[in-house]
A and B are shown apart, each in its own frame.
Chain A
């Protein structure tokens, strides 16, 4: 809930049109279920049946079901069924590599999206071990009440919270931040002016997960996934992909030659807009990066064990008031602030120095 309260303090920067919560490294009732994939989504009454039938057919076994204890709030029309369901893998995949399991989970999620999207009977936001997603349209604070996120005993070490739907297109659940794909999650502040060329590039990769794009920000998550998982680059190269250095600046880097090739080959993925991206990796590292001109706000601060990455400092004050404010970091245009898993420490990686 404190994430949502922090969002409330930053109200000038969002329109309160929706809430997206993505929780990772879960505690509470999910603590013992870490190796099983969790499917998060919303269904209509008919959708649940279709979902159940489909999952059964695919060989998944339902292990555990969590549903939020909905409190009726004026202005929010509850949908039929909000859920986080824990499944066991189909027998055919139990002994497969994790990479293959990841592909299976993603394909299942996409298939359900395909089935449920036309009549909006099924929405699936994520299907992955140890990740839970909640999304709804409306005021974030009211939605926090609505979902009763305080009462449910939901616990997580990594939480992404975003207080708006996408700005530029129709308000729609699949367009709501944060976005997720195979362990990578991110949300963005700012408009993505290079959306179309980026989308076309990603869709041309032949990877089934690069689809959807109801929001121009979804591509940031997919670029992260493509850079780190598909191409196998270390996380900091995400910065080099979305905001490449000038040729003259690359010369100072020991990996300058590789950077030049990366910049050329991944040219369409340059984000080029006023954007700040906050995201996490499957290992639990969290990061914040700015566009190449640093046109958006962003601050990182906290104490050992608890760090927060926010658009505005007032949000940070709300969540971690007892911190050394002098140590707050405002990542600039060359910076990538990375918080190591378990929030042990925050490091700023400078692109100029590599």
Chain B
């Protein structure tokens, strides 16, 4: 019943702060009312307001307490679910007096309400599960010490490299003997697939558009530096959205994997640049799926499609750019392989490895087996459920997909059964270094059978200071309001990010991972060849997981 006056006398219709995922802790005594926090908040979750307060005051030499009512300025968290505090902490960063801080609220009922207008919750980031992942539970339990002198990570020579590309089985190598030496038989007519020797950790697909110009540029510069100066051959995938035209025509193209996805964004420019390319790209990745949002296409929101992005992608400005969930011109995997892999191979004269990327799924083995039978498939990239994205429905991110560990293991063991484990490299991604353990997670996946791993969210966190985490912190990537300037096209925001600093952090991160990989491989007695499938080196403190992964149960 509405009150007769039409005016509500209480506030019971409102949500309480307890329903919100983050609660702002604001300290009246410290705040100097500068207004920086309310100005910087990307979602306007806090606002300055005026409240009447009853205060007891005493003035003069003798205490004469008296109650007064005073209007004061305060900072207040709004109770509108569309302006929920994301916990990004931008307010804390700008506050000169440490007067404000968001606090995670474990009791929140955010998902109950974040569907106003029938519009489900969409966000960026990765699966909101802060629990310790399987990857982080894996340990390296086979240590060579007394059985053999352990290697010294600091003194011995290590070759931490992997191969990206289809490898011929030894029985099929076109070799012949000439004067007691083996030489390649050029007259055999046998196709020798292109293979790249790379660092086993690569930067996964994040597009220009999803990323701001300084973020993408910083990653790219870091990768080039790692290759040219540090001698660590790290490669980086472009994501769907093309590449800067100058880069396409530069000698640095060899450090990049160009992605083609169902929207074909950017490919007009790429095709036109083909005759002018002075180097081949490292590889071509055909995106069929993404671990963060299996069965969902790409999405770049209109607010991020500014002039630069529209130019590179060959589209008008300020329109939603949706890639369909599937490649619409194909009806079967055989056709997909035939059309996409072979036509992409053909475009570069069969000099570039071409491989598909799928989201982690129980059916990954079906794809794998199909690829194993196709001599042009260069690898299979599997992106597990913990992979990140710039924009997706929350339900896709949190509930869809397959954990990467058992998916990779199943695929590898399937290849082992066929004796093809060294022919088709498997690239693993999705949740690598979720807790920051890059080298350990990468090494564990390699020992489960991956030839390489791909990182996305982690490098954003490590190199560009992304604030997102598995408590749904920030995760505003889809809105174009990234407070760090990483996933936005708004110059006011992205000028916060210095591309040189990003590049520097990329280099530092990979150099540190290189050292850590040595520290893992050395005591295990591995140094010259990547221990792909060295499952006897792994242990886990859960019997069911150990059995499932066919590794050692160690407790």
Q: With A200-B533, A258-B184 as given contacts, are A265 and B422 in contact (CB-CB < 8 Å)?
A: yes
Number of interface residues of A (CB under 8 A): 45
Q: Is A152 part of the binding interface, using a Cβ–Cβ cutoff of 8 Å?
A: no
Expressed in whole angstroms, the Cα–Cα distance for A107 and B364 within the complex equals 37
Expressed in whole angstroms, the Cα–Cα distance for A122 and B516 within the complex equals 48
Chain A residues 244-271 with CB under 8 Å of chain B are 244, 246-247, 254-255, 257-259, 261-262, 264-268, 270
Q: Is A73 part of the binding interface, using a Cβ–Cβ cutoff of 8 Å?
A: no
Q: Is the CB–CB distance between B422 and A262 below 8 Å?
A: no
Q: Is the interface of B mostly helix, strand, loop or mixed?
A: loop
Q: Is the interface of A mostly helix, strand, loop or mixed?
A: loop
Q: Is B534 part of the binding interface, using a Cβ–Cβ cutoff of 8 Å?
A: yes
Tell me which residues across on chain A come within 8 A of B175, comparing CB atoms: 258, 261-262
Q: Is the CB–CB distance between A206 and B419 below 8 Å?
A: yes
Beta-carbon nearest neighbor of A192 in chain B: B525
Q: Is B182 part of the binding interface, using a Cβ–Cβ cutoff of 8 Å?
A: yes
Residue of B144, B170, B527 near A266 (CB, 8 A) is: B170
Q: Is the CB–CB distance between A191 and B184 below 8 Å?
A: no
The smallest C-beta distance from A60 to any residue of chain B, in angstroms, reads 31
Residue of B149, B169, B183, B533 near A255 (CB, 8 A) is: B183
Bitwise interface map of A from 306 to 325 toward B, beta carbon under 8 Å scored 1, else 0: 00000000000000000000
Q: Is A75 part of the binding interface, using a Cβ–Cβ cutoff of 8 Å?
A: no
The smallest C-beta distance from A197 to any residue of chain B, in angstroms, reads 5
Beta-carbon nearest neighbor of B162 in chain A: A267
Q: Is the CB–CB distance between B534 and A231 below 8 Å?
A: no
Expressed in whole angstroms, the Cα–Cα distance for A261 and B168 within the complex equals 8
The smallest C-beta distance from B530 to any residue of chain A, in angstroms, reads 8
Expressed in whole angstroms, the Cα–Cα distance for A190 and B149 within the complex equals 9
Tell me which residues across on chain B come within 8 A of A168, comparing CB atoms: 147
Chain A residues 262-291 with CB under 8 Å of chain B are 262, 264-268, 270, 272-274
Residue of B167, B531, B533 near A265 (CB, 8 A) is: B167
Q: With A204-B418, A258-B183, A268-B421 as given contacts, are A191 and B533 in contact (CB-CB < 8 Å)?
A: no
Q: Is the CB–CB distance between A258 and B531 below 8 Å?
A: no
Chain A residues 330-354 with CB under 8 Å of chain B are 354
Residue of B192, B197, B536 near A261 (CB, 8 A) is: B192
Bitwise interface map of B from 325 to 339 toward A, beta carbon under 8 Å scored 1, else 0: 000000000000000
Expressed in whole angstroms, the Cα–Cα distance for A261 and B192 within the complex equals 9
Chain B residues 398-415 with CB under 8 Å of chain A are none
Residue of B156, B167, B419 near A293 (CB, 8 A) is: B156
Expressed in whole angstroms, the Cα–Cα distance for A153 and B96 within the complex equals 95
Beta-carbon nearest neighbor of B157 in chain A: A293
Q: Is the CB–CB distance between B532 and A197 below 8 Å?
A: yes
The smallest C-beta distance from B194 to any residue of chain A, in angstroms, reads 11
Expressed in whole angstroms, the Cα–Cα distance for A195 and B526 within the complex equals 11
Q: Is the CB–CB distance between A274 and B422 below 8 Å?
A: no
Q: Is A194 part of the binding interface, using a Cβ–Cβ cutoff of 8 Å?
A: yes
Q: Is the CB–CB distance between B525 and A272 below 8 Å?
A: yes
Q: Is the CB–CB distance between A270 and B170 below 8 Å?
A: no
Tell me which residues across on chain B come within 8 A of A205, comparing CB atoms: 419
Bitwise interface map of A from 214 to 235 toward B, beta carbon under 8 Å scored 1, else 0: 0000000000000000111110
Q: Is the CB–CB distance between A234 and B180 below 8 Å?
A: yes
Q: Please give me the 4 A-B residue pairs with the lowest Cβ-Cβ distance, nearest first.
A: A204-B419, A193-B525, A270-B529, A191-B148
17 contacts between A and B (CB under 8 A): A167-B147, A193-B525, A196-B535, A200-B421, A203-B419, A231-B171, A234-B180, A243-B528, A244-B528, A246-B159, A257-B184, A258-B183, A262-B182, A264-B163, A265-B168, A265-B169, A267-B163
Interface residues of B (CB under 8 A from A): 142, 144, 147-149, 151, 156-157, 159, 163, 167-171, 173, 175, 177, 180-184, 192, 195, 197, 416-422, 524-529, 531-536
